[in-house]
Structure 1
Amino acid sequence: MPPTFATPTAETLPLYVVEHDSFEPWQASLDPATRAWVQATDFKPSIGAVALLPGVDGTIAAAVVGYGKPAERARGRFALAAAVAKLPARVFYFETTPEGFDAETEALGWLLSSYAFDRYASAHGAKAELICPDGVDATRIEAIAAGEILTRDLINTPANDMGPDQLEAAARALADQFGAAIMVCAGDDLLAQNFPMIHAVGRASTRAPRLLDMTWGDAGPKLTLVGKGVCFDTGGLNLKPGNSMGLMKKDMGGAATVLGLAHMVMALNLPLRLRVLIPAVENSVSGNAFRPGDILTSRKGLTVEINNTDAEGRLVLADALALAAEDTPDQIISMATLTGAARVAVGPDLSPFYVDDDAVANALMQAGAKVADPLWRMPFWDPYESMIEPGIADLDNAPSGGFAGSITAALFLRRFVEGGRYTHFDIYGWNPSAKPARPKGGVGMGARAILEALPEVLGL
């Protein structure tokens, strides 16, 4: 179940959040016995530090957690969450917090600390619960946490239990939850409905490729989210080596992230018209697999020379983006675990994004900084357009040379939404090592920043 804030009870305990500079004044304010106890435990207010304070009857009366120094907090996010797993399974409320304490972000981190992926083996997140802090919108934070956990669960599930059919089932469950409509085009119907590149990429799998099309809302600006749903990527005939295939269950991270974001939007009942498009495929190897050297004709009519079958994500996204543009939405946002080049450029924590509109870029950057969902703007660099033009077709899906791989992939996608307001995220979708509120494994990237920026981007 998604985490929620606790209800106050008679046994709710106070929690003191103390940073380095306020530690001595806080300690001096304690009664002599409690002050002696804190000194005896050698508690220091470093990030993640915890001390339980006893009552006169020997029970736990309160707890204090360290919040470190500003420079230490700037090097990470969800600083409070570093201590949450060390607290006992009790209900807490913030008794004191430092000046400038971001209660909204830290409360979200607290909720996310309870997450553990336990589908296949017993696992537990933090057990301590929190009363929603004053001034924090509990409904909003709970919706964001639920959307993030949906994303994590989808990415963490291995491909044998998260193929195109199961991804469809997850989308249908989300649609049913919020009264959204959903249509699915699958198998050879993709050819009949003019989604030739989705079909080409997914036809070699025993699990039929499909396009998921979910719509919600009947008033307000139009927002279309497009998520790459490659449920497993062998690389196709350009087969990946084994060590590169090990994490390919996460290649549907873009789809998982837009579904998580859609959950947030619908749970908060934002005044907009939402559409979610997910090309769901498995890039496999068989006798009918698409080949290097093939030239495919896309939904938009642009021809694409296949120079690497492992550059399949942009192909399925292209057909979905062409469909999205036909509806002339106010904003199209694609999210995809698209290129290793993006990881080389910015690592696993930052979400690189591309957009031509400076106002949208600024809104996203500011939102990302505000909600601890860091982004980095990358350029749609027009001089590189020639790199994706092979000569015998309109476009090349894998330009030779290896330069600017994330940029050329973004330029490729932009060709299918010309004339629309378009933003593309080239995310990683995976946390390689455990961090506060972000265990190792699948993770949402960019969704919270987008949600925060939507009022400005769409004029809500």
Structure 2
Amino acid sequence: MSLRFAAPDTPALPLHLVAEEALEGWLTGQAPEVAAWVRAMGFTGALGRVLVVPDAAGGIAMGLGGYGSATSRARGRFHLAGIAAALPAGTYRVAGLPEDQAETEALGWLLSHYAYERYRDQSPAKARLVAPEGVDAARLEIIAAGEALTRDLINTPANDLGPDALEAACAAIADQQGARVTCVRGEDLLAQNFPLIHTVGRASAVAPRLMDMRWGQSGPKLTLVGKGVCFDTGGLNLKPGSSMGLMKKDMGGAATVLGLAHMIMALGLPVQLRVLIPAVENAVAGNAFRPGDILTARNGLTVEVNNTDAEGRLVLADALSYGAEDAPDLMISMATLTGAARVALGPDLAPYYTDDTRFAGALEAAAARVADPVWRLPFHTPYEAMIEPGIADLDNAPSGGFAGSITAALFLRRFAGGLNYSHFDIYGWTPSAAPARPKGGVGMGARALLEALPEVLGL
């Protein structure tokens, strides 16, 4: 698997992107035998269609990729990636790529070469690309590597990626980028006042832990907090088998912030970066926490447990409280937190919450530029009463089923210390293959954040 561009001086075949409405005009500029071949083969420029034009010796003279219409392009993204997957092996130099889409489409080409091959060889795209003129190839390769890291972590099953292996992955990234990592494990979580992380993870055979990675000596303070539930049985509120099948991806928040952290560090953004990952397995044993238990969090708030399957917000609560103590300029949490977010927005949109309209504006403009869609949902303060059970300060799973993603976000905000805080309730999974996104783990929101950070933090 190579997520890199071909060297600029590599001999390359021309690859012409041709939209449906531009096909006839393009054909008039070609040799008669080329135009005849294209017409004979029924190439229309339909989105994703690929045609190879032979040369006189029976080799490849050029490739054609259908760029569809404005309507068909609006229904998807990474169209060049779909073309890359259908091309024969070789190195290509693309022509006809709209300038405003060059970076996104070139990144999609790189990501079309991603495959998770730990347990079995796969068949990613074989065609290579010379980076389009004007594209920052090195930056895109770093972004692709960060996304691949996220996907690999999510795709790895829990027997090979428990809290200990997630800690090892975090340490490996830190070593690569010159960051520092400390980790609090097992009973030391109680000694150092991380009671909710300990409570959620204590029933597992692998000790719960909190990883703390730091990088950078100057610039604004940016803290990323990622939910690292390496497998979620639901605890004593046991999930049915149909709901447990994808729970290896319940550490998708941790995987996504690690991928984003790789991008930030490798690109050398002038920030003081901190990454906090509470890593646990929500398991069932005699010492598992119970429905009805009342827990006291790091910041002193009490929480009534009304569902042990709402564990992600508990481990994040301690991590957010800890992050807030350092008073960062911006704190962001990412988590595969609620099914309610999926019901509302489906698997492709990353819902996020913020009270900062400037942050929201910068993020949404960035998301549109880099084809990493996000959608703002409200920290709707009138719903605060829904997370207040009366017997304790907070309820981890309000009854009634209304506004589940919003109430979870409001719960987390109680631990963010009044800081500039944003929360992403992501899915982290592509349920069916799409261009540049094979079925499986996927990053959501990270590229949009990377694009927005210079404006948000004044870099």
Shared fold per TM-score greater than 0.5: yes
For 1:95 and 1:59, how far apart are their aligned partners in 2? 20
1:184 is matched with 183
1:93 is matched with 93
Structure 1 position 21, deviation (Å):
1.6
For 2:9 and 2:365, how far apart are their aligned partners in 1? 38
User: Percent identity between the aligned chains?
Assistant: 69
Q: Kindly provide the CA deviation profile for residues 281-325 of structure 1, in whole angstroms up to 9, marking residues without a partner as x.
A: 000000000011111100001010000000000000000000010
1:69 is matched with 69
For 1:317 and 1:148, how far apart are their aligned partners in 2? 23
For 1:2 and 1:294, how far apart are their aligned partners in 2? 50
Secondary structure at 1:250 match in 2: helix
Whether the aligned pair in 1 keeps the contact of 2:2 and 2:113 (CA below 8 Å) is no
For 1:383 and 1:2, how far apart are their aligned partners in 2? 50
The answer as to 2:237 corresponding to 1:238 is yes
Structure 1 position 101, deviation (Å):
5.1
Structure 1 position 326, deviation (Å):
0.3
Q: Which runs of 5+ in 1 are unaligned?
A: none
Secondary structure at 2:95 match in 1: strand
2:49 is matched with 49
1:106 is matched with 105
The answer as to 2:303 corresponding to 1:304 is yes
Structure 1 position 94, deviation (Å):
1.5
Q: How does 1:33-432 map to 2 (within 5 A)?
A: 33-97=33-97, 99=98, 102-432=101-431
- Please tell me the residue identity of whatever aligns with 1:450: L
Q: Kindly provide the CA deviation profile for residues 384-433 of structure 1, in whole angstroms up to 9, marking residues without a partner as x.
A: 00110111111000011111000000000000013211000000000000
Structure 1 position 44, deviation (Å):
1.5
Secondary structure at 1:425 match in 2: strand
Whether the aligned pair in 2 keeps the contact of 1:115 and 1:124 (CA below 8 Å) is no
The total of aligned residue pairs comes to: 459
Structure 1 position 96, deviation (Å):
2.9
For 2:42 and 2:243, how far apart are their aligned partners in 1? 46
- Please tell me the residue identity of whatever aligns with 1:93: R
The answer as to 2:22 corresponding to 1:25 is no
Secondary structure at 2:159 match in 1: helix
Structure 1 position 79, deviation (Å):
1.3
For 2:2 and 2:141, how far apart are their aligned partners in 1? 8
2:439 is matched with 440
Whether the aligned pair in 1 keeps the contact of 2:379 and 2:410 (CA below 8 Å) is yes
For 2:99 and 2:219, how far apart are their aligned partners in 1? 35
Whether the aligned pair in 2 keeps the contact of 1:184 and 1:213 (CA below 8 Å) is yes
For 2:95 and 2:381, how far apart are their aligned partners in 1? 54
100-109 or 335-344: which moved more? 100-109
For 1:315 and 1:101, how far apart are their aligned partners in 2? 43
For 2:268 and 2:10, how far apart are their aligned partners in 1? 34
For 2:299 and 2:403, how far apart are their aligned partners in 1? 25
Structure 1 position 38, deviation (Å):
1.1
Whether the aligned pair in 2 keeps the contact of 1:2 and 1:149 (CA below 8 Å) is no
For 1:100 and 1:231, how far apart are their aligned partners in 2? 41
For 1:451 and 1:100, how far apart are their aligned partners in 2? 21
* Segments ≥4 residues shifted beyond 3 Å: 8-11
For 2:35 and 2:41, how far apart are their aligned partners in 1? 10
Structure 1 position 192, deviation (Å):
0.5
For 1:354 and 1:376, how far apart are their aligned partners in 2? 9
TM-score by length of 1: 0.98
Structure 1 position 100, deviation (Å):
5.3
Q: Kindly provide the CA deviation profile for residues 201-254 of structure 1, in whole angstroms up to 9, marking residues without a partner as x.
A: 000000000000000011100100000000000000000000000000000000
- Please tell me the residue identity of whatever aligns with 1:202: G
TM-score by length of 2: 0.99
Change in CA separation of 1:441 and 1:214 when aligned onto 2, cut-off 3 Å: same
Secondary structure at 2:110 match in 1: helix
Whether the aligned pair in 2 keeps the contact of 1:81 and 1:113 (CA below 8 Å) is yes
Q: Which runs of 5+ in 2 are unaligned?
A: none
For 2:314 and 2:404, how far apart are their aligned partners in 1? 15
Structure 1 position 2, deviation (Å):
5.2
For 2:2 and 2:41, how far apart are their aligned partners in 1? 35
Structure 1 position 58, deviation (Å):
1.8
Q: Kindly provide the CA deviation profile for residues 127-186 of structure 1, in whole angstroms up to 9, marking residues without a partner as x.
A: 101111111111111111000000000000101001001100110010000000000000
Structure 1 position 54, deviation (Å):
1.5
Whether the aligned pair in 2 keeps the contact of 1:2 and 1:145 (CA below 8 Å) is no
> How large is the Cα RMSD of the aligned pairs?
1.0
Whether the aligned pair in 2 keeps the contact of 1:293 and 1:305 (CA below 8 Å) is yes
Structure 1 position 33, deviation (Å):
1.2
Structure 1 position 84, deviation (Å):
0.8
For 1:8 and 1:459, how far apart are their aligned partners in 2? 33
Whether the aligned pair in 1 keeps the contact of 2:154 and 2:251 (CA below 8 Å) is yes
For 2:36 and 2:356, how far apart are their aligned partners in 1? 58
Q: Kindly provide the CA deviation profile for residues 42-74 of structure 1, in whole angstroms up to 9, marking residues without a partner as x.
A: 111011111111122221111110000011111
- Please tell me the residue identity of whatever aligns with 1:351: A
For 2:93 and 2:326, how far apart are their aligned partners in 1? 47
Change in CA separation of 1:256 and 1:323 when aligned onto 2, cut-off 3 Å: same
Structure 1 position 10, deviation (Å):
5.7
For 1:410 and 1:101, how far apart are their aligned partners in 2? 35
